[in-house]
Chain A
Amino acid sequence: MEEKQKSGKLLEVKDLHVSFFTPAGEVKAVGGISYDLNYGEVMGIVGESGSGKSVEAYSIIGLLQSPGKVVGGSITLEGEDVLAKTKNEMVALRGSKVAMIFQNPMTCLNPVYTIGNQLIEALKAHDKNVSKEEAAKRAMEMLELVGINNVEKRMKQYPHELSGGMRQRVMIAMGLICHPQLLIADEPTTALDVTIQAQILELMKDLQKKTHMGIIFITHNLGVVAEICDKVSVMYAGKMVEQGPVDDIFYKPGHPYTMGLLRSMPRVDAESYERLIPIEGTPVDMLNPPEGCPFAPRCEYAMKICLQKMPPYVELGDNHRAACWLRVQEQIQKEQGKTNETKEVGGHE
């Protein structure tokens, strides 16, 4: 759809901190996460409920509800500082450059307006000069693009007359109608049943190839990640515990939390009726986060230092890094081994 495909950095998030100021105290929902997203790249953000993955996404698009506030870090979209934008500039940004689709298509469309009305409205919000006929034409094109047939009839229908999968298609059409560079999909398949999930994923993959947009795909379903993402960020308690290309995350996970997530996922190629292995314990109380690594209280490999200090990131491969003391230890041992080797070699000389 774009005449020439852009390349390079689309989005850069650096050391982002988001806090919610509740009567009970400050909740650090996102505690310093960084990542890059290139044009045409799909990044998955996985993590359990309350890990801050949605909050992080909302701050990109300026939809954080009070008492939530970005308290530190930077978000740069196509070279522009998003956090420095005024309210009106954010309104103009939403839906045009960045679009968002949500988890529950059953409640995300306004029940009292027709599909056509809501699609045209999304277009008109950013293109004041477009005529009614032109807007309707574009809306119908979008509906066709997302695989809806009988579009003229659909335009006049109300959300309750469509099925869940169809509504999610409409949501996607609505998100893409202004050709955004970045699409944030907040668990877009979670509320759908499995066959529809697969269809929607297929559609998103397809559209992504056609439009060459960047997608941030928020989910807690690793199967979905494997299906669609180029790279993955694993979040736990507001921190990014592991980040890397999708293959590395699946085949060489570096963080015990990622390993736990993988073990708790059902597999088609399982030997027999194996039981899934859950991650023991409960998520962190974000009001009183533990010192050190937030995952340590649930981690089977936890060491003394894990409870005291947050581990630094350790590079495990190309663009693959994890924040875990185990990996730090390994690296130190490896380096020591290397130095020992060189010493030995030196000794023989």
Chain B
Amino acid sequence: MAKYILKRVLMAVITLFIVTCLTFLLMNAIPGSPWLSEKTPTQATIDALNEKYGMDKPVLVQLGMYLEDILHGDFRVSIKMQKDRPVLDIILNMFPVSAAIGSIAILWAILVGVPLGCLAAFKRGTWVDSLLRVICTLGISMPGFVVATILLYLFAGGIPDWKVFPTIFDGTWQSYILPCLALGFYPMCYLSRQTRTAMLDSINQEYIKTARAKGLKNKKIIFKHALRNALIPVITYLGPQIAFTLCGGFVVETVFSIPGLGRYFVSSIQNRDFPIIMGTTIFLAAFIIVMNLVVDLLYKLVDPRINLSKGGN
């Protein structure tokens, strides 16, 4: 087990290295520069700025210097959006907001999506199943901003009598509700569909017949015997999805004006604030890698047949 985790950590470091190099090179390959804004500075100013932030050297040299810096734990400072503020500081400041909304969103998505999936599987072919299918297909195919806009319209002013939630995120508990609903809707629908499929597969297995022949009650058959086997594909999906959702949905954060990491990440690209782009990318990548490791360890917990030490999963 320890050996397995060590191996995975080593692989994670390699992955992060590749991600860092790729992002750095791509970032430098796109046209544009952080110094361009409404009033174009003089060439002398640009040169001075480039020199100050080490951007006058060849790209590969810059990459080498950057790698050296992050090895020392220095993620540099923002060069444009919040000038000279350390990137790590910014991320640690913004992530909690995204993470709070993200975790509530993913939590309700699991708590509602998995039971709904079970329900759909057991009522397959009935109107309940059809209704859930329509809702979930809608949820999966509708872009996030549409969901967010519909919610805003319904509960934040579009219908005068129903204005119960604020339109803009201000940190109060009421302002959490709509963003969490909007952000969790897609994973909820996806989870529900996935659970339904996995559940149907699991119900038709022979051990369910055995469980029935033993005289177990329906509840026990579903929740003890069928669900645990159905959870494996669900967990697979959940790992990276949790990482994504916690790091902030850009769309939802934009619609509700939430000062979260997702929105900041996108605007850092628009502003060519290179250190912030690098910092957030590495952070997100590390987070996804960690979540994937957690998922693999969870597999072992759910399914004893999985042998982690023998060549992974």
State the A residues within 8 Å of B (CB).
61, 63, 91-96, 99-100, 102, 104, 107-113, 121-122, 125-126, 158, 160, 171, 174-175
Contact = CB atoms under 8 A, between A and B. Distances in A.
A93 B215 contact: yes
Given A95-B215, A125-B215, A125-B216, A112 B303 contact: yes
B57 interface: no
B229 A122 contact: no
Contact of B206 (A61, A104, A125): A104
Nearest to A160: B305
Contact of A111 (B207, B209, B211): B207
Nearest to A110: B207
Nearest to A107: B206
A107 B213 contact: no
Contacts of A175: 213
B313 to A, nearest CB: 15
Contacts of A94: 212-215
B233 to A, nearest CB: 14
B205 interface: yes
A197 B136 CA distance: 49
B304 A91 contact: no
B93 interface: no
Given A94-B215, A126-B215, 18 more contacts: A91-B216, A92-B215, A94-B214, A95-B216, A99-B213, A100-B213, A104-B206, A107-B205, A108-B209, A110-B207, A110-B229, A112-B229, A112-B304, A113-B224, A122-B214, A122-B215, A125-B215, A158-B305
B129 to A, nearest CB: 15
Chain B contact-residue range equals: 20 to 34
B214 A111 contact: no
Nearest to B232: A112
13 contacts: A63-B212, A93-B215, A95-B215, A102-B213, A112-B305, A113-B225, A113-B228, A122-B214, A125-B215, A125-B220, A160-B304, A160-B305, A171-B210
A121 B216 contact: yes
Given A91-B217, A96-B215, A110 B209 contact: no
B210 A91 contact: no
A100 B233 CA distance: 31
Contact of B209 (A63, A112, A122, A125): A63
B200 to A, nearest CB: 13
B201 to A, nearest CB: 13
B207 A109 contact: yes
B142 interface: no
B210 A111 contact: no
B302 interface: yes
Interface string B9-36: 0000000000000000000000000000
Nearest to A91: B215
Nearest to B228: A112
A291 B213 CA distance: 36
Contacts of B214: 94-95, 99, 121-122, 125, 174
Nearest to A106: B206
Contacts of B304: 111-112, 158, 160
Interface in B263-288: none
B225 A110 contact: yes
Nearest to B303: A112
Contacts of B217: 91, 125
A108 B304 CA distance: 16
Contact of B229 (A61, A104, A111, A174): A111
Query: Which 3 A/B pairs are nearest by Cβ-Cβ distance?
Result: A95-B215, A94-B215, A110-B207
A104 B209 CA distance: 11
Interface in B83-130: none
A61 B210 CA distance: 12
A102 B229 contact: no
Contacts of A96: 215
Contacts of A91: 215-218
Most buried by A among B207, B209, B215, B304: B215
Interface in B206-246: 206-207, 209-218, 220, 224-225, 228-229
A121 B229 CA distance: 17
A107 B207 contact: yes
A89 to B, nearest CB: 11
Contacts of A110: 207, 210-211, 225, 229
Contacts of A99: 213-214
Contacts of B229: 110-112
A217 B210 CA distance: 17
A201 B210 CA distance: 20
A61 B302 contact: no
Nearest to B217: A91
Interface string B173-189: 00000000000000000
B121 to A, nearest CB: 15
Contacts of B228: 112-113
B216 A108 contact: no
B87 to A, nearest CB: 44
Contacts of A92: 215
A191 B305 CA distance: 21
Most buried by B among A92, A100, A112: A112
A102 B210 contact: yes
A92 B215 CA distance: 6
B297 to A, nearest CB: 16
A111 B215 contact: no
A61 B213 contact: yes
Nearest to B205: A107
Nearest to A174: B214
A94 B217 CA distance: 10
